[in-house]
Amino acid sequence: MNSKNSRLWLDLSVAFILVVLLIGGGMLIYQLNFDAMEVEVDNALAQRGQEISTQEGCIACHTVDGSLGVGPSWQGMIGRIETLDNGTSIVVDEVYFLESIRYAKRKMVDGYPNVMPSYMMEEEEIDALFAFASQLSQ
């Protein structure tokens, strides 16, 4: 290898390392941000629900602390009487919770944008999410 070539390789290697560091650093900050959002729960099912909420991206729209998000906060959700955009009201129970996830467009909470995608989740995952939201609704 001549010296021009090895210089090129050095440049490429440095560039590669910088890119890896940049992406890795970004991912670390992203992860730390989500970890900072973690709340204390007192059972394994609710903790699994919390993990699913983070992994599936629910957390992007449903906050854990009652603060305003794109959708209603997990905090205080379960058991609340919600007004729908057709003027009727509904109690957020297990059945409505599951329906809201699998068929997100069926019943719309009044005052929110129609942006939530439907998720074909296992019932076991929805149970965990419900346990998590319930913990934040006591």
| Residues in touch with ligand HEC (CB under 6 A) | 56-58, 60-62, 70-72, 77, 82, 92, 97, 100-101, 104, 108-109, 112-113, 115-116, 119, 129
Q: How far is the CB of 28 from ligand HEC (least distance, A)?
A: 23
The two tokens of residue 88 are: 């009727």
Closest to ligand HEC by CB, 28 or 91: 91
Residue 2's Cβ-count burial label (10 Å; 0-12, 13-18, 19+) is: exposed
Q: How far is the CB of 46 from ligand HEC (least distance, A)?
A: 13
Closest to ligand HEC by CB, 4 or 117: 117
Closest to ligand HEC by CB, 16 or 103: 103
Q: How far is the CB of 12 from ligand HEC (least distance, A)?
A: 39
Length of the chain measured in residues: 138
Q: What is the DSSP letter of 74?
A: S
Closest to ligand HEC by CB, 11 or 85: 85
- Pair 60, 70: CB distance under 8 Å: yes
Q: How far is the CB of 26 from ligand HEC (least distance, A)?
A: 21
Q: How far is the CB of 62 from ligand HEC (least distance, A)?
A: 6
In whole angstroms, what is the distance from residue 110 CA to residue 87 CA?
8
Phi, psi of 43 (to 5 degrees): -150, 160
In whole angstroms, what is the distance from residue 137 CA to residue 131 CA?
10
